[in-house]
Amino acid sequence: MKLSNLAYAAAAASLAAAPVAAQAAAPIERIAAPAAEENELSGLAGIGPAFIIVAIAAAGIAVLLLTDDDDDDNFVSV
């Protein structure tokens, strides 16, 4: 019991100290990527929306097929 309380206290202290330790660290210099390398995937821009539409349609068809109730046991007498 006391060991678990000690573990909880250590976890709480480490969570509380993490932001302070991160602020004390030296700042990292960030360098932007050149604009020439930014548009390498521009040729695939038309495939993304089409893939999403096909995936949504396939999911809808799968749900329709899996939930279709082919209950032929209920006969209707005329």
> In a 3-state reduction of DSSP, which class is residue 20?
helix
Helix, strand, coil % over all residues of the chain, rounded to 5: 65, 0, 35
Tokens of 11: 């976890």
pLDDT digits 0-9 by tens, 38-76: 555 555 556 777 888 899 999 999 998 888 776 666 666
Query: So what's the pLDDT on residue 2?
Result: 80
Query: So what's the pLDDT on residue 8?
Result: 87
pLDDT digits 0-9 by tens, 4-38: 888 889 999 888 888 777 776 667 777 776 665 55
Q: How sure is the predictor about 78, in pLDDT bands with cuts at 50, 70 and 90?
A: low
Query: So what's the pLDDT on residue 17?
Result: 83
